Structure formats: C-alpha cells, structure tokens
Chain A
C-alpha cells in the first residue's frame, strides 16, 4: 500500500537517510533533493503529495524556496528548522507553510504531523460537521456539543473555535488568529486571544490545565487537535 509521495528537500545526508527510512517503513514513496534548485525542479516534475523543506539550505534560503513553491504548489509543506527561532517559524507559517518541526524531532511527532497535513490536502473546508472524540462541532447549525450536551459559547468564542476546527491539526499563528477573529486592526492585541483561549478551554476541555484539544505552541500560536 502506498500512503502518498513525499519530497524531502534537505542538504544533510544523514537527515535525509533518517527521513527516508522512517517514511518508507510507513509506506510512503520518498523522493530526495539536496539543494533548493533541485527541490524546485523535482516538485515541478513529480508533484508530490507533501514536501518536507529544510529552512537552512546551502544555495538559497528555505524561505525563498517556500515562496517560489507556493506560487503554484497548493499541497502541504512542512518546514524543518534547526533554529528554534520562533520568528523564523512564524515567518514560514505566514508564507504558507502548513506546519513545522524543530530538529531534533521525534519520529512519532513527524508522522503525526505528516498524517494531519495529508488529511487536509484537497479537503478545503467542505465538511460541516467536525467530530472529535467527545466534541462535535456543527458548522451549519452553529452548535457545539461536548459529551452530547450542547455547550453555550459567545459569538467570539464560537468564531474562534470554528476557525480552529476547520484547521484541525494545523498551527495557527497569534497574528493570523487575531486578524481572522478580531480584524486586521487588532493584530497586536494578543490579550484578547489569551482570554478567549482560557475561556474556551474551560468550556471544551475536561481539564483546562491539561488541554488535549487546544494546544499551546510556545511563541508561535495554537493548534487544535481533534482526535488524539
């Protein structure tokens, strides 16, 4: 069985080898490129289902490769970065990356991110009912149920939760969330976001102090996880 084709763009042979073994043993077809230029060519020729792109490439910065890819490539791109620099990650996410992983990463995490990214390929917000374990979100009727009981949400809380649910598994940056929910004039007013995240957690999480749905990505944003 073949789970899809993945293109790896990374200059480090060891990392490529590791990714290749990990992905092949999980039934993915793997293509590899060692430079940005080669990566762009291979992406155009093979049109893979997902691209794993390293930010520190020798010939051209990963950021600019990402921009060039995004001119025509609409499927998932996951960024690999050694720099644990949050700014770099936020920049890549704002430029259209779907997700990120910081080296050194755990294999389980890598596979989870790939699966979640692949789920989103092609399914552009046409689901109206989002079902995740104990939580159901009906986007047409605007009803949210937890353990089959309707929970009352304010307008803003619902807008925020619906936005998360439509982007299940994906990191949403602080700025993106503020812009989408409160409008472009409020992108620096993160205090609103903090307050509403805390309120949402109290309503949808079993233990708001150990959230399993609304996960904090330190310095970057939040991620909504449906099924654990």
Chain B
C-alpha cells in the first residue's frame, strides 16, 4: 500500500533531511549551523509527521465508510433477491399446502366441483414452481461460469418452430409470424440453450403484451463482417419498454415498475447470459410503431449443405 503509515512517515523524514541538506546553511551537508535552524527543522519534522498520520487516519475512515456502503448495497441487492424469490416460491408452495390440506381434512364438506378446482390449483402451482426452480438453476449455472455451449449444427427452422410448438398454450391469444431469409445455412449453436433463449423471449412477449398482439420472429444471416453471424429478431406489437429502463432490463432480478406478478426478473438475464456464452450480443430497442424488438447476433460457422440440390 502506497499510503500506508510507514511510507508516509518515511517521506516526511526524507523531506526534512532534503530540506536540511540543500537549504539550511552550511549547504550540501546534513550539519546544521545555528540552534534556530535546528528548532525550525524539528518543528517542520513534527508538523510533517502529524500531517502524515492524520492523512493516513482519514484515508482509513474513508475506506471503512466505503466498505460499509458496499456492504449496504450488497444487502440491498440480497433483499431484493430474497423478497422476489420468497414471494415467487412461497406463493405456489402455499397454494399446494393449502389446497392439499383442504382435500385431506374436510373431504365431505367440499363440493365435487371445488375439489376439482383445488386439484387444478395444485397442478398449476407445481408447474409454476418447476419453472421458477428451472430459472434459478439456469441462473446459478451462469453465475458459476459453468455454461459451455455444446455447439452442433442446427436447422434454425426446426429451432424456431419447436419453441413455437412448445408454447402453444401460452400463445393461444397471440398471433405469431415466423419468417426466414432465403437459403439460410445450418449454424453451429447449442440447440438446448437457444431453445431456452427463444422460449424466454417469446413467452415474455406473450405475457407482457395484450391479447391479440402480434409477435414477429425473423431468422437470418449477417454477412457484412468477416465472420458470418446468425441473426434473430423478435418483435412484438405491445407498448414497448420505457426508454429510461431499456438499459436495465437485462439486469438480474430487475423488473419493470408496476409489472404483472409471476416473474422473478431472471428470464431476460438468462437470455443475455446464454447468448454471451455463444459469443453473441442482444440489443433491445423500441420500434417507432410501438412494441419492443430484441435483436440477437451470434457469430457462427455455417454449412450450406441444406441448400444444395437433393441427391
């Protein structure tokens, strides 16, 4: 440490000696001629030392204050995390416990219709819980730096359509349009991770836009740089994101103000993490007509085998 107590004291001593050597007669010796000069030098040395010690103390106090502030920030983040998590996990757990208690205890008092409803609630809550746990596991995989994409040749038509088919239920009140550039090659991507990325983005769009909105997906290729890039746009016809919050949406546990319940604020940060693990980028913009647009670019090897003539 440059400003630790000993170097600071040493510099005070050295400056006193240098002053003595160059400026106190007789010049260019450490010998001091008059008593007045001795007292003056001593005074200087004392003041320099006191100054050094004080500077050191002030720095120490500032450091403690900074540490405390950092700690407070960490605690704040932890609290946000904890509140969001305990809410997101406890809600389905309470539903399951409450509903099964009812079914176990007052079997004769509950009507057949209500029984069915309770069972349905348990099932819904369990699925929700499963989704949250999956998100948390993905997040911790990302945090631990453990994610190594297993890249293999992907047919992006298959990739996009498989996710749309998975999300049939979520998308039943939305229109989805998927388009592909002509003669799109195969790309080397991790199919499973990319499915997650698309799944999170599309279900996000479906959850936060009104019924009847349109979600447009376009897969293409960017050949403008030396490395070919797989490009993917996901656009919705909702209200878009508030301009001031666009930068923060990929942050962990960040949720838009007044957003619907049911999310942990992990979905988009997982998306970003998975894309970055592929060496790619994701950008969020608002389209002028209203609605949000996610633009993904991932550098990838390509194979044009699929656009060749059949055997």
Kindly specify which of A19-27, A31-39, A53-61, A195-203 makes contact with the partner chain: A195-203
Asked, given contacts A104-B130, A192-B305, whether A210 binds B191 with beta carbons under 8 Å apart, the answer is no
Cβ contact within 8 Å between A191 and B192:
no
Cβ contact within 8 Å between A218 and B162:
yes
Cβ contact within 8 Å between B162 and A216:
yes
The contact string, 1 if C-beta is below 8 Å from chain B, for chain A 200-222, is 00000000011000001011000
Which residue of A104, A154, A197, A216 has the most chain B CB atoms within 10 A of its CB atom? A216
- Interface size classification for chain A: 10 to 19
CB contacts (< 8 Å) of A190 on chain B: these are 152-153
CB contacts (< 8 Å) of B155 on chain A: these are 194-195, 197-198
CB contacts (< 8 Å) of A183 on chain B: these are none
Is B120 at the interface (CB under 8 A from chain A)? Answer: no
Is A156 at the interface (CB under 8 A from chain B)? Answer: yes
A191 to B300, CA, bound (A): 14
Contact of A195 among B130, B161, B186, B190 (CB under 8 A): B186
Cβ contact within 8 Å between B161 and A198:
no
Is A122 at the interface (CB under 8 A from chain B)? Answer: no
Cβ contact within 8 Å between A218 and B306:
no
Cβ contact within 8 Å between B153 and A194:
yes
A30 to chain B, nearest CB (A): 23
CB contacts (< 8 Å) of B161 on chain A: these are 209-210
Is A86 at the interface (CB under 8 A from chain B)? Answer: yes
The contact string, 1 if C-beta is below 8 Å from chain B, for chain A 116-158, is 0000000000000000000000000000000000000011100
Is B73 at the interface (CB under 8 A from chain A)? Answer: no
Cβ contact within 8 Å between A156 and B311:
yes
CB contacts (< 8 Å) of B191 on chain A: these are 218-219
CB contacts (< 8 Å) of A195 on chain B: these are 155, 186, 305-306
In the complex, how many residues of chain B place their beta carbon closer than 8 angstroms to a beta carbon of chain A?
22
Which residue of B126, B191, B195 has the most chain A CB atoms within 10 A of its CB atom? B191
CB contacts (< 8 Å) of A218 on chain B: these are 162, 191-192, 195
Cβ contact within 8 Å between A194 and B311:
no
CB contacts (< 8 Å) of B183 on chain A: these are none
Cβ contact within 8 Å between B195 and A194:
no
A190 to B306, CA, bound (A): 12
CB contacts (< 8 Å) of A104 on chain B: these are 126, 130
Is B282 at the interface (CB under 8 A from chain A)? Answer: no
**Would you list which residues of chain A between 71 and 128 have a CB under 8 Å from chain B?**
86, 104
Asked, given contacts A198-B155, A216-B158, A219-B191, whether A191 binds B305 with beta carbons under 8 Å apart, the answer is yes
CB contacts (< 8 Å) of B153 on chain A: these are 190-191, 194
A25 to chain B, nearest CB (A): 15
B253 to chain A, nearest CB (A): 23
Which residue of B154, B158, B186 has the most chain A CB atoms within 10 A of its CB atom? B158
A203 to B150, CA, bound (A): 30
Cβ contact within 8 Å between B186 and A191:
yes
Q: Assuming A191-B303, A219-B150, what are 5 further A-B pairs, CB within 8 angstroms?
A: A190-B153, A191-B186, A194-B158, A216-B162, A219-B190
Q: Which residues of B contact A (CB under 8 A)?
A: 126, 130, 150, 152-155, 157-158, 161-162, 165, 186, 190-192, 195, 303, 305-306, 310-311
Could you list some 16 contacts between A and B, CB below 8 A? Answer: A86-B192, A156-B311, A191-B153, A191-B306, A194-B155, A195-B305, A197-B155, A198-B155, A198-B306, A209-B161, A216-B162, A218-B162, A218-B191, A218-B192, A219-B190, A219-B191
Q: Which 3 A-B pairs have the closest CB atoms?
A: A191-B153, A209-B161, A219-B192
Q: Which residues of A contact B (CB under 8 A)?
A: 86, 104, 154-156, 174, 190-192, 194-195, 197-199, 209-210, 216, 218-219
